[in-house]
């Protein structure tokens, strides 16, 4: 099992309503349904992925994170999952806000541009990094909005998001719980997975756009 899937499975409450944004062929949704009895929905950009999801009996709509999140009513889900895709969206800030409009919690993972391999690659070669987590050359990569852990936690602060949990992920090691605000983790984490929720503050506004309570059981 993919390490990020294992971590997501650990975070998600049983019987939760989950939206997987960029669900591919539906592996995670199927896992969540089987292991957590989750009520899942998916958004996937490729027809091939949607077709595979249909054959698995999953409810998946073709679309992309930048445009098609508004189709869901506010608070329709307990969790919205965006795995390794935030850095490839056109408007990552708007996507994050949309995720926390339609779900109580967001689970977001991305490659950390502050990782020491990335820094070393740029420093030593003076060229755009090509690493295990970022394998494509600059002219072919889908990653148009890369960020470091420090960048991401700053954005969470700006959006008033609470970081409920954070794990460092790497291909060959088990997930490791970290404090993403520690400078050392910004060097060490190859990828990171965040569990976010809205922080009810003085200027917190209940999301109200779109019909509500239509999705509740």
Q: Which stretch binds another protein (CB under 8 A): 5-13, 57-65, 127-135, 190-198?
A: 57-65
Report the distance separating Cα 37 and Cα 53, nearest Å. 17
Q: Which is nearer to another protein, 55 or 144 (CB)?
A: 55
- From 51, 5, 63, 53, select the one nearest 32 (Cα to Cα): 5
Report the distance separating Cα 11 and Cα 81, nearest Å. 11
Among 5, 27, 33, 73, binds another protein (CB under 8 A): 73
Per-residue buried b or exposed e for 119-132, using 16+ beta carbons within 10 Å of the residue's own CB:
eebeeeeeeebbee
Q: The tokens of 152 are what?
A: 């991401």
- x/- site string to another protein, residues 24 to 53, per CB under 8 A? -----------------x-----x--xxxx
Among 2, 56, 117, 145, binds another protein (CB under 8 A): 56
Residue 207 binds another protein (CB under 8 A):
no
Q: Which stretch binds another protein (CB under 8 A): 7-15, 71-79, 171-179, 180-188?
A: 71-79
DSSP string, 77-130: EEEEEEES-GGGSS-HHHHHHHHHHHEEEEEEEEEBTTSHHHHHHHHHH-S---
Q: Which is nearer to another protein, 59 or 154 (CB)?
A: 59
**Helices within 134-192 (DSSP H only):** 149-159, 183-188
Among 1, 37, 71, 182, binds another protein (CB under 8 A): 71
Q: Which residues bind another protein (CB under 8 A)?
A: 41, 47, 50-63, 68, 71-73, 76, 210-211, 214-216
């Amino acid at each position: 099992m993919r390490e990020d899937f294992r971590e997501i499975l650990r975070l998600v409450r049983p019987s939760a309503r989950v939206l997987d944004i960029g669900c591919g062929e539906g592996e995670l949704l199927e896992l969540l349904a089987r292991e957590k009895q989750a009520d899942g929905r998916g958004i996937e950009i490729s027809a091939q992925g949607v077709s595979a999801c249909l054959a698995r009996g999953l409810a998946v709509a073709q679309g992309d994170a930048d445009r098609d999140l508004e189709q869901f009513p506010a608070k329709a889900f307990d969790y919205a999952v965006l795995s390794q895709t935030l850095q490839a969206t056109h408007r990552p800030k708007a996507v994050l806000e949309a995720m926390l409009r339609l779900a109580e919690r967001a689970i977001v993972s991305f490659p950390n541009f502050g990782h020491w391999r990335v820094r070393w690659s740029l420093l030593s070669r003076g060229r755009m990094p090509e690493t295990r987590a970022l394998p494509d050359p600059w002219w072919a990569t889908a990653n148009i909005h890369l960020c470091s852990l420090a960048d991401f936690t700053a954005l969470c602060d700006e959006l008033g998001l609470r970081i409920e949990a954070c794990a460092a992920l790497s291909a060959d090691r088990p997930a490791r719980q970290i404090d993403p605000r520690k400078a050392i983790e910004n060097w060490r984490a190859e990828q990171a997975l965040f569990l976010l929720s809205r922080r009810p503050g003085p200027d917190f506004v209940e999301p109200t756009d779109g019909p509500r309570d239509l999705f509740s059981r």
